[in-house]
Amino acid sequence: MKQLPTSLSNKLDQRIQANALRILTEPNSRVDFSSNDYLGISKSEEIFHKTHQFLIDNYIIQNGATGSRLLSGNHILYQEAESFIAHFHKAEAALIFNSGYDANVGFFSAVPQRNDLILYDELSHASIRDGILMSNAKSYRFNHNDYEDLEKRIVAAKSNSSINEIYIVTESVFSMDGDSPILELLVSISEKYGAHLIIDEAHALGVFGEKGEGLVQMLHLQDKVFARIMTFGKGLGCHGAAVLGSEGLKSYLVNFARSFIYTTGLSPHSVATILIAYQFLEKEDKAIDTLRQNIVHFNQEKNLLGLKPLFVRSKSAIQSAIIPGNEKVKSISRLFQDKGFDVKAILSPTVPEGQERLRFCLHSFNSKEEITEVLALLSKFLFQ
């Protein structure tokens, strides 16, 4: 078999030397403090059986989409799911993509045009930045949640008469820090300067809002945002994503978003799972309430143990303890694994050097006793 080129082998060796080599981990039965399955939907027997029964009841016996949605893959479930999602999120229209990555790459590579400007939070997800790199628009990052820096960049852009449209991009919950921007202030800035605001709600769906609608809707800002990207692989425990916006935006993406046009659609089973998971959110609030109680309990316990200075301030299901150094944070993660807790280390270069961390993801199915124990272990591991 042909071997890896030397230049690529050298890059892997550099990762090994930096103690930053990524490897695929095996499934385990440890207490889950690492997955994004905040409401436990991915393992819900009820949703599994309801999805199966829904397909049977509607005589949908089909394993695949058979083609792209513009050819043969736009099966009837897409229309039903997109209509439900749009209504649930109080949006004019919803367009389902195969993943959150596909949605962000498709949106940002297609919507901003030459002579437009994209201003994005420096901690925006890789999928957002990858899409921006594929765009013909100019782009600049602004300091994380720094509204003064953002306005400064907008004013500078406005002095350049060649700029047409301005797009402001952020996340409602940041995946590595778990913190949130002040969305009301971002809306005010976007309206002041006639900019288009785009919010990625990947880690807010299922967590914020009366029914888990997300942070934008919880703050009643949905009519003031140009587009929302809702990802289903976190709080909804399934696969896919949707871009929410106007009918005009949906039509534009169908025509110009390459990650939508040139890929086989999701299977009927995948789309049915999305629909049933959304129906669960609409009717079931117990899991969301339990998750919120667990977030409060986690914050109270870390304060009691004197661990608060380690953590990024967060009221979300993502709680990150900064422990600089790949070796140090990996060694503490291994100690957790040995004690039966699945707590993952986040290494540089995924986060900046010196910002390595343990990332605790909270769920509705974590018990308060488990939360208390995992934090007590953290305190012990740090000072032993």
- What is the pTM assigned to this prediction? 0.94
| pLDDT band of 28, cuts 50, 70, 90 | confident
Question: Distance between CA 211 and CA 383 in Å, rounded?
Answer: 40
Determine the pLDDT at residue 161: 73
Question: What are the pLDDT digits (tens) for 151-176?
Answer: 999 999 888 778 999 999 999 999 99
Question: What are the pLDDT digits (tens) for 351-382?
Answer: 999 999 999 999 999 999 999 999 999 999 99
Question: Distance between CA 144 and CA 180 in Å, rounded?
Answer: 10
Question: What are the pLDDT digits (tens) for 272-331?
Answer: 999 999 999 999 889 999 999 999 999 999 999 999 999 999 999 999 999 999 999 999
Q: Which residue spans of the chain are classified as CATH 3.90.1150.10?
A: 28-38+285-383
Question: Distance between CA 333 and CA 28 in Å, rounded?
Answer: 14
Tokens of 216: 């934008």
Determine the pLDDT at residue 23: 87
Q: How far lies 253's CA from each of 7, 102, 200, 278, 384, in Å?
A: 38, 12, 16, 23, 54
Instruction: Report whether CATH 3.40.640.10 matches the domain 64-283.
Output: yes
Backbone dihedral angles phi then psi of residue 232, each to the nearest 5 degrees = -95, -5
Angle at 219 between CA 358 and CA 225, to 5 degrees: 95
Tokens of 283: 């009717």
Tokens of 149: 């820096």
Q: Which residue spans of the chain are classified as CATH 3.40.640.10?
A: 64-283
Chain-centroid distance, C-alpha 150: 22
Backbone dihedral angles phi then psi of residue 124, each to the nearest 5 degrees = -60, 150
Question: For residue 26, what is the DSSP state?
Answer: P
What is the SS3 assignment for 304-331? HCCCHHHECCCCCCEEEEECCCHHHHHH
Nearest to 170 by CA among 203, 197, 205: 197
Please name the amino acid found at residue 51.
T
Determine the pLDDT at residue 211: 95
| pLDDT band of 19, cuts 50, 70, 90 | confident
Question: Distance between CA 334 and CA 340 in Å, rounded?
Answer: 10
Determine the pLDDT at residue 96: 98
Determine the pLDDT at residue 191: 97
Question: Distance between CA 93 and CA 113 in Å, rounded?
Answer: 22
Instruction: Kindly state which CATH superfamily the domain 28-38+285-383 is placed in.
Output: Aspartate Aminotransferase, domain 1 (3.90.1150.10)
Question: Distance between CA 197 and CA 215 in Å, rounded?
Answer: 14
Q: Give all strands of the β-sheet with 344-346 in edge-to-edge order.
A: 318-322, 357-361, 344-346
| pLDDT band of 26, cuts 50, 70, 90 | confident
Q: Is the pLDDT at 384 greater than 80, yes or no?
A: no
- In percent, the amount of the chain with pLDDT more than 70 equals 100
- 292 CB burial (10 A radius; 0-12, 13-18, 19+): middle
Determine the pLDDT at residue 268: 97
